[in-house]
Copies of this chain bind each other. A is one copy, B any other.
């Protein structure tokens, strides 16, 4: 793995970075193969031991403030640590940095009231429970979250929720879901929905199934469910943040969330790159050459190296913009990284698989796991096509009415 990026190095990061690297290399890489070959509930048991250790070493949830006993890393710092965690599929999980929990933790941290913090945030931060976030619905383009069928209506001091969500990651085994539901259908377009916290043992809530994805239904943290709310009642106090703010809060969750995703993708790319290089120097081609002597593999390595570096810089500068000026001002940078970095990762994964030959298709490396589990990178949270159009329209608004001599005819 590459080290810290000079321009974004801090003392705190210089101290933390090697500690994460050691932990991952020594504690997790050796059991990676085992973890990937067992169902999640078994893996979770093995991982629990590592989580205890990580916490004991002060490596737990480094994005949380020092007041919580954590490292309180800023976005550019955390991004560089997150890249390391991504070297193995359960890396983030061990440090309680896994999506969607990390997003929910940040959300609750900012917007939960004292009761909600005690009930939901505290156990989540401690890693005693898992959670999920219910947004996407069947039959509606996920890229257009203002169109939504799930309803929450206030009856007395309860919200009554009806609707179906799907591709709800990690619902299997989650203790609660933060669900986005229309509460004010007659309000302005972006002010119709609110967020409501629903414990999963609430009557009327049901996890219908884990959706079979790439041949696997998965389980636990590694699954995507269809969930249903049928006259599901929760206390009025389970409203998270202001009424009508659902869309805004979801967006607010997205900016840092996208940086988290992207930095994870950079880390995955680095590991794939590493596997490709190891393969190159160790594979005898039977013609007196190693694979590393083949120019096509050399070019795959050089192009991967350059594009991974580019991806990392893109994410770090987006994180820097967010740290300096906030998510609103950094929106161009944040839009661009989603499709740029996903493309880099998928290409590097593909090259690494090709370099490994038939072995690259097997489960002997994590490549084939990522190949299946990360193809969604160009789809979830809005497909590339939507992000690209949205970025372009935003840029072009700055040109409105602008006709230079260059564009005469």
Contact = CB atoms under 8 A, between A and B. Distances in A.
A295 to B, nearest CB: 4
Contact of A409 (B336, B359, B396): B359
A309 B317 CA distance: 10
Q: Which 7 A-B residue pairs are closest in the complex by CB-CB distance?
A: A313-B313, A298-B392, A302-B388, A295-B295, A310-B310, A212-B363, A306-B336
A375 B379 contact: no
Contact of A395 (B301, B356, B371, B378): B301
A392 B278 contact: no
Contact of A282 (B282, B301, B380, B403): B403
B6 A279 contact: no
- Most B-side CB within 10 Å, residue of A277, A301, A368, A406: A406
A115 interface: no
Nearest to A275: B406
Interface in A356-376: 356-365, 368-369, 371-372, 375-376
Interface residues of A, number: 108
A212 B396 contact: no
A364 B286 CA distance: 41
B364 A406 contact: yes
A259 to B, nearest CB: 15
A275 B301 CA distance: 29
Contacts of A407: 275, 278-279, 282-283, 356
Copies held by the complex: 4
A299 interface: yes
A407 B379 CA distance: 17
A409 B139 CA distance: 5
Given A295-B389, A313-B314, A358-B376, A368 B214 contact: yes
Contact of A281 (B142, B307, B402): B402
Contacts of A33: 405
A308 to B, nearest CB: 10
Contacts of A317: 5-7, 309, 313
A384 B287 CA distance: 17
Nearest to A337: B306
Interface in A206-225: 211-216
A91 to B, nearest CB: 16
B6 A305 contact: no
Given A213-B362, A313-B314, 6 more contacts: A280-B396, A296-B299, A298-B388, A299-B392, A301-B392, A357-B379
7 contacts: A167-B358, A213-B361, A214-B363, A298-B396, A303-B388, A313-B314, A364-B409
Contact of A301 (B214, B280, B396): B396
Nearest to A408: B364
A75 to B, nearest CB: 13
- Most B-side CB within 10 Å, residue of A314, A332, A409: A409
A128 interface: no
B375 A353 contact: yes
B384 A375 contact: no
A400 B296 CA distance: 19
Contacts of A311: 310
Contacts of A279: 406-407
